[in-house]
């Protein structure tokens, strides 16, 4: 890379940001551009139509040539308050995955806890029963019932096929958030499911933000019988060993998790903090780390940071494509059970966005898209 360009990029990427918003926390709606966003760095893995975004992916590879990417998009063109969950099937052709058309697989349910926004999915395979039926695919998703990016809760849905149809489990969240007790804040969202036994026992990681603290929590859950789910108490995921982000202690939020093939090592990709101070106020870098899987049960569990900062420089292509100024809401490419495909290679799928050039510039709103990134261990 040209040294001058690199210096310029470093200057841009080291601007201080203090906002602690989660990636899905966008509320403003304005006049978006009608055209598609041109790539600023590494290319998209697929393109949404103009006026539609794609963010917060969950990517699983079920065989040597098939991947499914679940993500958040807007149901109505140029309406940022119409979040739904879509899936695209990717098939390997000539060394590259080609993704098919999007299918909306989960939408809000009127007059329920998830009546407004349905976002940020995480999907794994397993064996689950619900109301006398057997299912092989489980989705955890984020939703709320107000026109705001807060008071989120987490629900479950099941399917017999990766492309759906998905059936919501019950009419209550599996991870509830009560703003009357904890304050009208982010709530619980951004789930990341990891299978414990490739059947019905899972670890459910999720972001939690209340009046007191933003963090990531994990619960162990036996979801074999979804009519009577069993959940452990929550364990706040450790920040020890992660790079200092100047916020008192490193913030762990908006993360995705995966286990090594033997289950002994836990991997995490998370947003880097602090967030950008200009729109969109999301992360401009990612952090990749691993630790002994039992570390989540240990108050002194400590991460081994693999890559402290994956940022714009890492998505540089050429002098016409300097890289993405926003990189956030990433996931790890995993098998159907939330395990790594190959412990030597870690592939991430991250959300990109343009940034606003000024207070009036809203062109970034429908620019988010998805990209692959190979991280060296």
**Residue in 232, 277, 357, 377 binding other proteins, rule: CB under 8 A:** 232
Buried b (16+ CB within 10 A) or exposed e, 240-254: eebbebeeeebbbbb
Which one of 239, 273, 303, 316 is in contact with other proteins (CB under 8 A)? 239
Q: Which of 238, 284, 315, 351 binds other proteins (CB under 8 A)?
A: 238
Instruction: Identify the burial level of 206 via C-beta atoms within 10 angstroms of its C-beta, where 0-12 means exposed, 13-18 middle and 19 or more buried.
Output: buried
Structure tokens at 22: 């989660």
Cβ closer to other proteins: 86 or 140? 140
| Residue among 141, 196, 337, 366 that touches other proteins (CB under 8 A) | 196
96: contact with other proteins by CB under 8 A = no
User: Binding to other proteins (CB under 8 A): which residues in 275-294?
Assistant: 294
Alpha-carbon gap, residue 375 to 377, rounded angstroms: 6
* 215 near other proteins (CB under 8 A): yes
What token pair was written down for 251?
């913030």
Rule CB under 8 A: choose which of 104, 249, 262, 357 binds other proteins.
249
142 to 181: interface string for other proteins, x by CB under 8 A: ---------------------------------------x
CB of 125 to other proteins, least distance (A): 18
Q: How far apart are CA 95 and CA 93, in angstroms?
A: 5
Query: Under 8 Å CB-to-CB from 302, ≥6 apart: which residues?
Result: 238, 240, 241, 291, 295
Considering only the stretches 4-12, 53-61, 69-77, 205-213, report the one whose residues sit in contact with other proteins under the rule CB under 8 A: 205-213
Whether the CB-CB separation of 154 and 189 falls below 8 Å is answered with yes
Residue 235 near other proteins by CB under 8 A: yes
Helices and strands (H and E) in the chain: how many:
2, 21
d(C-alpha 348, C-alpha 288), whole Å = 10
Q: Determine contact, residues 311/284, Cβ cutoff 8 Å.
A: yes
Q: Measured between alpha carbons, how far is 348 from 371 in angstroms, rounded to an integer?
A: 8
Establish if 230 lies at the interface with other proteins (CB under 8 A): yes
Cα separation, 52 vs 44, whole angstroms: 14
Q: Please list every residue from 335 through 374 that binds other proteins, using CB under 8 A.
A: none
* Shortest distance, position 136 Cβ to other proteins, whole Å: 20
Stretch that binds other proteins, among 37-45, 79-87, 234-242, 271-279 (CB under 8 A): 234-242
* DSSP symbols for 25-92: ---------SSPPPPSSSPPSS-PPTT---EEEEEEEEETTEEEEEEEEESSTT-TT-EEEEEEEEEE
How many residues interact with other proteins (rule CB under 8 A)? Answer: 27
Q: Does 228 bind other proteins (CB under 8 A)?
A: no
Of 164-172, 232-240, 268-276, 354-362, the segment contacting other proteins by CB under 8 A is 232-240
Compute the least distance from the CB of residue 22 to other proteins, in Å.
17
Tokens of 190: 């951004």
Asked if 248 interacts with other proteins (CB under 8 A), we say: yes
Unique residue bearing structure tokens 């364990």? 235
* Least separation in angstroms between CB 200 and other proteins: 11
- Nearer residue to other proteins within complex by CB, 44 or 234: 234
x-or-dash pattern for other proteins, window 298-317, by CB under 8 A?
xxx-----------------
* Residue appearing with tokens 């705001």: 148
Positions in the binding site for other proteins (CB under 8 A): 181-182, 196, 201, 203, 210, 212-213, 215, 220, 222, 230, 232-236, 238-240, 248-249, 294, 297-300
């Amino acid at each position: 890379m040209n040294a001058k360009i690199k210096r310029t990029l470093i200057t841009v990427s080291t601007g201080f940001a203090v906002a602690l918003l989660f990636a899905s926390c966008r509320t403003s709606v304005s006049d978006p551009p009608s055209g598609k966003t041109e790539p600023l760095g590494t290319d998209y893995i697929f393109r949404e139509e103009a006026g539609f975004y794609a963010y917060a992916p969950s990517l699983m590879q079920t065989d040597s040539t098939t991947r499914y990417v679940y993500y958040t998009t807007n149901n109505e063109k140029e309406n940022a308050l119409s979040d739904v969950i879509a899936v695209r099937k990717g098939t390997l052709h000539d060394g590259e995955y080609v993704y098919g058309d999007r299918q909306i697989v989960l939408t809000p349910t009127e007059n329920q806890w998830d009546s407004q926004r349905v976002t940020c999915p995480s999907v794994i395979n397993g064996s689950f029963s619900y109301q006398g039926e057997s299912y092989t695919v489980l989705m955890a998703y984020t939703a709320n019932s107000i026109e705001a990016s807060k008071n989120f809760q987490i629900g479950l849905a099941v399917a017999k096929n990766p492309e759906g149809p998905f059936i919501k489990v019950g009419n209550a969240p599996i991870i509830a958030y009560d703003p009357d007790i904890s304050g009208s804040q982010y709530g619980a969202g951004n789930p990341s499911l990891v299978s414990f036994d490739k059947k019905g026992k899972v670890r459910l990681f999720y972001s939690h933000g209340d009046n007191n603290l933003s963090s990531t929590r994990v619960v162990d859950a036996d979801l074999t019988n979804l009519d009577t789910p069993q959940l452990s108490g929550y364990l706040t995921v450790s920040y020890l060993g992660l790079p200092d982000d100047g916020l008192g202690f490193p913030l762990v939020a908006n993360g995705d998790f995966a286990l090594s093939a033997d289950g002994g090592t836990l991997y995490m990709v998370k947003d880097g903090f602090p967030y950008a101070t200009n729109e969109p106020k999301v992360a401009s870098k990612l952090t990749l780390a691993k630790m002994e899987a039992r570390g989540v049960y240990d108050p002194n569990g400590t991460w081994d940071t693999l890559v402290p900062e994956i940022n714009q420089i890492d998505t540089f292509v050429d002098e016409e494509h300097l890289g993405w100024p926003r990189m956030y809401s990433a996931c790890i490419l995993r098998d159907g059970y939330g395990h790594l495909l190959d412990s030597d290679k870690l592939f991430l799928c991250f959300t990109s966005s343009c940034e606003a050039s000024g207070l009036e510039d809203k062109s970034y709103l429908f620019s988010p898209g998805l990209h692959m990134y190979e991280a060296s261990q």
